[in-house]
Amino acid sequence: MLKLYNTGKNDSLKLQLNQQLQNMRDSIENYNRALKLATIQWIETMPHSYISATELYSLMINQQLGTIEANRLFHHLTDPVQQSRVGQLIAATLQKSMVNIQAQDFTEKDFDQENIKLKSGKFLNLVVQEIDNNIISLYDIDEIEYRIYKLLKTKKSINYILYKCMKYFNEQVVNEYYKLYEELIITNIKQLIIKKAIRPF
């Protein structure tokens, strides 16, 4: 004996079930969004709490935060929290992501009120295992500073470093103001020393 089904009724039931499933998904998504915002608010309000580091690390591991936002919240934590075990895990995770942050093009005036077109560049996250202590620090550095940092893994002269960084400059301008560019390299090296990324010898 053949059984006949009302396909219209089945289709209506499917639509109802799909709508209920979508409503559940929306509810879960709204809950997760509210929980994330509440967690971020906790971290911002309680920067001295080690729980803040744990919550931040959880958001990062679950890919609920981008590197820029995670970096901002990490810097908001107090030094003891940053230097805790979880804080060091956060710093290491940020180092692995190493997201290049693209700066915008813009025009600026020089001393003679002439327009100077500045091209976009990259900013990098530098995670430093400090030389003097078992501490990790996180800094935002530009391409030139990062290039110098990589070059100074071994002893180099100022002239050699400037030569290796030449792609960032106009060669004719460098030749005209060579001493100023040497001072620029020296200033960048001093900044790396202050950040304890390198040690003078």
Give tens-digit pLDDT for 21-50.
888 888 888 888 888 899 999 999 999 999
120 versus 11: the higher-pLDDT residue is 11
Q: Give the model's pLDDT for residue 41.
A: 92
Contacts of residue 155, defined as CB under 8 A and 6 or more positions apart, other chains included, come to 201
CA 91 to CA 81: how far, in whole Å?
11
What percentage of the chain reaches a pLDDT higher than 90? 13
Q: Could you give the C-alpha distances from 16 to 13, 22, 29, in angstroms and in order?
A: 5, 10, 20
| Contact assessment for residue 100 and residue 69, using Cβ atoms and an 8 Å cutoff | no
Asked if the model's pLDDT at residue 150 lies above 70, the reply is yes
Q: What is the pLDDT of residue 45?
A: 92
- Residue 156 CA: distances (Å) to CA of 44, 65, 143, 200: 42, 39, 18, 12
∠54-55-58 over CA atoms, to 5°? 90
Q: For residues 141-165, give the mean pLDDT.
A: 84
The whole-chain average pLDDT of the chain stands at 76
Question: For residue 91, which of 79, 107, 105 has the smallest C-alpha distance?
Answer: 79
Overall size of the chain counted in residues: 201
Residue 176 has what pLDDT? 85
Mean pLDDT over residues 164-187, rounded?
85
Kindly report the pTM of this predicted structure. Answer: 0.44
Strand order in the sheet with 136-142: 101-102, 122-129, 136-142
| pLDDT of 114 above 80 | no
Sign of the torsion formed by the C-alpha atoms of 167, 169, 173 and 175: negative
- Residue 18 in this model has a pLDDT that exceeds 90: no
The tens digit of pLDDT for each residue in 53-108 reads 999 998 988 888 888 888 889 989 998 999 898 998 888 888 766 544 444 444 54
Instruction: State residue 53's pLDDT score.
Output: 92
